[in-house]
């Protein structure tokens, strides 16, 4: 979808333009005028002849030409009438500033649906309602009530919250931050976050896309298209409304459903989106991407006039899993020729507290020549001899002379460094107030480059027995059963190549002992009931039974105690199962997110999974590399690879299990949840065993 009529209109009409200062209709009109917009402006107000020197029109038809863009500011009950006028005259781009739609409940939702139905019939695209408007600094178009025009720049910003965007504008003006486009889309009744992001991805003036979201309209489409956008330009998003309180507030704010933070983290990781947790962090990252080249690697050189900040930066580099650049012998030799004898010639390069601008200039020039350096961070503290302004000019000079590597600055202080910081920002050098912030910006740049250089995603498909799974699911749905019993859940897994322990259902103690004799000891007994999901919670699991008498006693005890503990549960018998010994217990799982589809899970298995919560998540379908990355991102991974002399387990086998499970839940959208816990994995070359399984389904 092209947003050209919104971003570059030759004429704008404001329906609801007002003569009264403080009214939204007045503020939007005067912002358009004072911003220097060169196109034609048509105020529409039937009760006024002119506003701010411009002729006023009673309605859109009276203008006598078709405005490229119409901005509607009239009360909500009258918006549908104005939209009909837009359709009649042929306008194709409309911004509805007015609030009072689905964010207020059922009545507002119905009103919004009526407005959008009129727009769709007329082929009109709509931003809003309940929004701040949009701003295009390059075209001097301030079609919003967000205050004065910001600087022109290369950051494109989209926001579901108009008030937040107004705050960002104020913050940006104070920090010399420029934008290419700013769009507040409010209730996104028509144009949504993805439409704006796709338009910005094709916009030559935009180098980085940033935004604030409370919800995502279509999860599956978002993932696919956002991934394509991320391959062209970095995306920095704040996603709010993930806590229970935040989700409730988000729903009341725009009438949208927020969502589970786990799902959004997985989505952003898949799509290459950089998740930001504060406005300041987002702007810090955006400045780095907007003004600096991508780093070719993770090696960072630090130049400082004080040891303390240099140590802080070094610690941050290590914490962020970046490399502390090892300067070459040639670099050290060059530094030694100019820097004082007391200076530290290794990384961090300490030019000492009496360093003037020339010393900084020399050190940065030499450091950027070193092939082992991918990123330079310049730290300055305002000591007695320090020249913050002159040093800023020197940093700008060298960065322009050698534009191939990113240069970030950190001026620690306030009034004494204020002018220097201004010079840096005006010349495209991101300046941060703390070494940790500068290192964090370097980290996201490195991670983004790694993401873009990742291997092409190839999802392996295993030979499976789909028909068997179809039969089991169809039978359960036909009988209105949502929980699939353990035995049949294991049949499903076996159809997709998993190995499960031998076992059968017993309805008497004698039968249980006979089954144990046949499959071999030791055995496990598990209560068999469609109404009991967590068997161990009610005493429904007995492990390590090695004799027929033990099996009979355990059977009788279960059948006696459990009906008393869970009187309404239907007890069908007891599963007698071969006990798996040795290996490590992990969990493989899936929960289907209503927006994004199957969300895969891996973590430490057994009864401790909900206590330790050492789990990772990723969107299905999984590649082999993604499956392994799920393992690596948990603390459990170190245990699995072997610690303190213990033998490690077969990592590739676990990754294959995740891929098989991913294939299963991708091919059968009826599966809502599925856990394999424990999944026992042994040394390399042994066969993992799916000891227990839980599965729920629903119609699609």
| Cα(67)–Cα(86) distance, integer angstroms | 9
* 646 compared with 481, residue with greater pLDDT: 481
> What confidence score (pLDDT) does residue 217 get?
82
* 1 compared with 109, residue with greater pLDDT: 109
Query: By percentage, how much of the chain surpasses pLDDT 90?
Result: 82
Q: Check whether 587 has a pLDDT greater than 70.
A: yes
Segment 342-353 mean pLDDT: 95
Which neighbouring-strand residues pair with 573? 528
> What confidence score (pLDDT) does residue 564 get?
92
> What confidence score (pLDDT) does residue 258 get?
36
pLDDT digits (tens, 9 = 90+) for 210-267: 999 988 888 889 999 999 999 999 999 999 855 554 445 444 333 343 347 888 999 9
According to DSSP, residue 62 is labeled G
Contact 360, 386 (CB under 8 A): no
Confidence of residue 690 (pLDDT cuts 50, 70, 90): very high
* 609 compared with 175, residue with greater pLDDT: 175
| Cα(443)–Cα(409) distance, integer angstroms | 14
| Cα(589)–Cα(677) distance, integer angstroms | 8
> What confidence score (pLDDT) does residue 254 get?
34
Confidence of residue 645 (pLDDT cuts 50, 70, 90): low
Is CATH 3.40.50.620 the right assignment for the domain spanning 466-578?
A: no
Confidence of residue 608 (pLDDT cuts 50, 70, 90): low
The CATH code for residues 584-697 is 3.30.470.20
Segment 647-667 mean pLDDT: 95
Q: Where are the domains of the chain?
A: 4-277, 292-452, 466-578, 584-697
- Asked if the peptide bond before residue 639 counts as cis, ω within 30 degrees of 0, the response is no
User: Roughly what angle, to the nearest 10 degrees, separates helices 388-401 and 418-426?
Assistant: 20
| Cα(259)–Cα(265) distance, integer angstroms | 11
pLDDT digits (tens, 9 = 90+) for 46-75: 999 999 999 999 999 999 999 999 999 999
pLDDT digits (tens, 9 = 90+) for 88-105: 999 999 999 999 999 999
| Cα(339)–Cα(104) distance, integer angstroms | 66
Query: By percentage, how much of the chain surpasses pLDDT 70?
Result: 96
As a whole number of Å, the end-to-end CA separation of the chain is 30
> What confidence score (pLDDT) does residue 256 get?
41
The residue among 621, 606, 615 whose CA lies nearest residue 262 is: 615
**What is the third-level CATH fold of 292-452?**
Rossmann fold (3.40.50)
Classify 498 as helix, strand or coil: coil
Q: Is the dihedral of CA 500, 506, 512, 517 positive or negative?
A: negative
Q: Check whether 457 has a pLDDT greater than 80.
A: yes
> What confidence score (pLDDT) does residue 620 get?
95
Q: Which two structure tokens, joined as six digits, stand for 644?
A: 């303190």
Arch. (CATH architecture) of 4-277: 3-Layer(aba) Sandwich (3.40)
466-578 and 584-697: identical CATH topology: no
| Cα(293)–Cα(388) distance, integer angstroms | 24
Backbone Cα Rg of the chain: 32
> What confidence score (pLDDT) does residue 473 get?
97
Q: Check whether 152 has a pLDDT greater than 90.
A: yes
| Phi, psi torsion values for 636, nearest 5 degrees | -55, -30
> What confidence score (pLDDT) does residue 244 get?
52
pLDDT digits (tens, 9 = 90+) for 465-520: 999 999 999 999 999 999 998 889 999 999 999 999 988 899 999 999 999 999 99
- What is the DSSP code string of 98-153? ---SGGG-HHHHHHHHHHHHHHHHTT-EEE-SS--EEEEGGGTEEEESS-SPPEEE
> What confidence score (pLDDT) does residue 614 get?
82
> What confidence score (pLDDT) does residue 607 get?
60
Looking at 27-31, 153-157, 253-257, 377-381, which range is the least confident one?
253-257
Q: Check whether 666 has a pLDDT greater than 50.
A: yes
pLDDT digits (tens, 9 = 90+) for 518-572: 999 999 999 988 888 788 889 999 999 999 999 999 999 999 999 999 998 989 8
């Amino acid at each position: 979808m092209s947003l050209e009529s919104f971003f570059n209109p030759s004429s704008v009409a404001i329906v609801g333009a007002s003569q009264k200062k403080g009214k939204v209709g007045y503020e939007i009109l005067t912002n358009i005028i004072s911003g220097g917009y060169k196109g034609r402006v048509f105020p529409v107000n039937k009760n006024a002849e002119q506003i701010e020197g411009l002729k006023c029109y009673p309605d859109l038809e009276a203008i006598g030409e078709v405005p490229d863009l119409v901005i509607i500011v009239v009360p909500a009950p009258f918006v549908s009438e104005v939209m009909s006028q837009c359709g009649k005259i042929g306008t194709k781009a409309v911004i509805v500033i007015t609030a009072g739609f689905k964010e207020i409940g059922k009545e507002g939702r119905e009103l919004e649906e009526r407005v959008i139905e009129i727009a769709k019939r007329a082929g009109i695209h709509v931003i809003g309602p309940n929004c701040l408007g949009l701003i295009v600094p390059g075209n001097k178009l301030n079609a919003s009530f967000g205050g004065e025009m910001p600087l022109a720049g290369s950051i494109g910003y989209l926001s579901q919250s108009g008030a937040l965007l107004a705050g960002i504008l104020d913050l940006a003006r104070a920090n010399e931050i420029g934008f290419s486009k700013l769009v507040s889309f409010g209730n996104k009744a028509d144009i949504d976050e993805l439409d704006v992001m796709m338009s910005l991805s094709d916009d030559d003036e935009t180098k980085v896309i940033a935004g604030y979201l409370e919800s995502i309209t279509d999860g599956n489409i978002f993932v696919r298209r956002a991934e394509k956008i991320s391959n062209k330009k970095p995306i920095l998003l704040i996603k709010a409304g993930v806590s229970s309180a935040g989700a409730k507030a988000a729903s009341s704010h725009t009438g949208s459903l927020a969502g589970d933070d786990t799902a959004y983290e997985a989505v952003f990781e898949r799509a290459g989106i950089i998740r930001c947790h504060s406005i300041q962090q987002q702007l810090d990252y955006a400045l780095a991407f907007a003004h600096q080249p991508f780093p070719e690697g993770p090696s960072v050189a630090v130049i400082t006039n004080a040891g303390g900040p240099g140590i802080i930066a070094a610690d941050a580099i290590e914490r962020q899993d970046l490399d502390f650049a090892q300067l070459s012998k040639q670099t050290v030799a060059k530094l030694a020729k100019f820097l004082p004898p007391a200076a530290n010639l290794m990384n961090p390069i300490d030019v000492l507290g009496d360093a003037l601008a020339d010393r900084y200039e020399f050190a940065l020039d030499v450091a950027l020549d070193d092939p082992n350096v991918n990123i330079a961070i310049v730290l300055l503290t305002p000591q007695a001899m320090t020249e913050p302004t002159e040093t800023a000019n020197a940093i700008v000079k060298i960065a322009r002379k050698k534009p191939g590597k990113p240069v970030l600055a950190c001026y620690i202080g306030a009034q004494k460094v204020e002018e220097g910081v201004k010079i840096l920002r005006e010349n495209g050098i991101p300046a941060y107030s703390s070494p940790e912030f500068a290192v964090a910006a370097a980290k996201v740049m490195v991670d983004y480059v790694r993401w873009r250089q990742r291997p092409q995603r190839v999802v392996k498909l295993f030979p499976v027995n789909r028909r068997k799974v179809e039969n089991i699911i169809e039978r359960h749905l036909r009988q209105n059963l949502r929980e699939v019993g353990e035995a049949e859940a294991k049949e499903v897994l076996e159809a997709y190549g998993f190995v499960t322990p031998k076992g059968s259902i017993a309805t008497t103690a004698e039968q249980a002992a006979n089954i144990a004799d046949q499959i071999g000891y030791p055995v496990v007994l598990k209560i068999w009931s469609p109404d009991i999901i967590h068997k161990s919670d009610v005493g429904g699991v007995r492990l390590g039974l090695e004799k027929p008498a033990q099996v009979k006693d355990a059977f009788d005890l279960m059948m006696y105690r459990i009906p008393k503990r869970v009187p309404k549960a239907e007890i069908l018998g007891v599963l007698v199962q071969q006990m798996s010994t040795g290996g490590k217990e992990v969990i493989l799982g899936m929960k289907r997110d209503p927006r994004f589809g199957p969300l895969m899970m891996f973590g430490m298995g057994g009864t401790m999974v909900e206590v330790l919560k050492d789990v990772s998540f990723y969107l299905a379908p999984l590649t082999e590399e993604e499956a392994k990355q799920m393992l690596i991102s948990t603390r459990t991974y170190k245990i699995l690879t072997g610690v303190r002399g213990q033998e490690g387990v077969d990592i590739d086998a676990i990754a294959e299990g995740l891929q098989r499970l991913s294939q299963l839940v991708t091919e059968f959208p009826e599966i809502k949840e599925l856990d394999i816990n424990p999944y026992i994995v042994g040394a390399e070359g042994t066969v993992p065993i799916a000891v227990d399984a839980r599965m729920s389904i629903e119609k699609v």
